Amino acid sequence: MVDPRISVIDDRVRKVGRIIAVSSGKGGVGKSLLASTLALILAGKGYSTGLFDLDFTSPSTHVILGLKETRPLEDRGIIPPVVHGLKYMTIIYYSGGRATPLRGIDFSNAFIELLSVTDWGGLDFLILDMPPGIGDATLDVIRLMRKPRFLIVTTPSPLAFETVKKLIGMLRELDIPIVGVVENMKTGFSNIQQEYRKLNVKFLGEIPYDPAVEENLGNVDRLLKTVFAKEAEKLLEHLTG
């Protein structure tokens, strides 16, 4: 009994330039917001960009993008719909927003299924919105995807640092490239930057807490005008360089 799907995964992302996994040890640090915003900014600059929401049990990028009712086209595979200039994949197309509890094996099966049938075509960037931690999704991205690079999101909290440290430790051990760490939702002074420098990871910058974000979720044009987006844009050189 052999699962044939694995053998074509490489083919499906062959024409993808860079795969960026937006990741963190913690939830609620802004991964989905940053992944979506960066993808939109890249697309706006003319890079052909895909966004793949891998938080199958708690997907949220569709809310950030203000997704309207749509489903992928079926050709000789599945063609992701273009949403605000992004080739966009989310489990929401199929779960219809219902609670979809998945255990590890189910996550892997769903991930392998979507990877093996989704035709991303040529892309400069495929941005992955990761669930928190070093569980199923992170392990599967490392196991199944060609050369992912991890962009790590944290907050000034020592609690975030504690979990991100473990993510960094694992990526290092497995020799997976780390783009660097972004400190999000900064409000006052913090010396988290020093802590990351001690770990020898590149500190890419800080993004302040921006109250305008919440009221502009779902409205992409306005979201891109927020301080959050302006600061996120400064990270681009680390992705494109």
Ligand X SMILES: Nc1ncnc2c1ncn2[C@@H]1O[C@H](COP(=O)(O)OP(=O)(O)O)[C@@H](O)[C@H]1O
Q: Which residue has the tokens 């994949």?
A: 89
Q: Does 5 bind another protein (CB under 8 A)?
A: yes
* Euclidean distance between CA atoms 82 and 79, whole angstroms: 9
- Are 146 and 176 in contact by the 8 Å Cβ rule? The answer is no
- Minimum Å gap between C-beta 104 and ligand X is 19
- Minimum Å gap between C-beta 33 and another protein is 24
Residues numbered 98-127 forming contacts with another protein, rule: CB under 8 A: 98-103, 105-107, 109-110, 113-114, 116-117, 119
Residue 97's H or E segment, with its range, is: none
Q: Does 218 bind ligand X (CB under 6 A)?
A: no
Neighbours of 30 (CB within 10 A): 23
4, 214, 237, 241: residue in contact with ligand X (rule CB under 6 A):
214
Q: Two tokens at 214?
A: 């919440």
119, 170, 190, 209: residue in contact with ligand X (rule CB under 6 A):
209
Under 8 Å CB-to-CB from 236, ≥6 apart: which residues?
38, 41, 42, 45
Smaller CB separation from ligand X, 89 or 185: 185
73-74 and 78-79: which strand pairing? antiparallel
Binding site for ligand X (CB under 6 A): 24, 27-33, 60, 184-185, 207, 209-210, 213-214, 217, 228
Binding site for another protein (CB under 8 A): 1-8, 11, 56, 72, 74-78, 91, 93-96, 98-103, 105-107, 109-110, 113-114, 116-117, 119
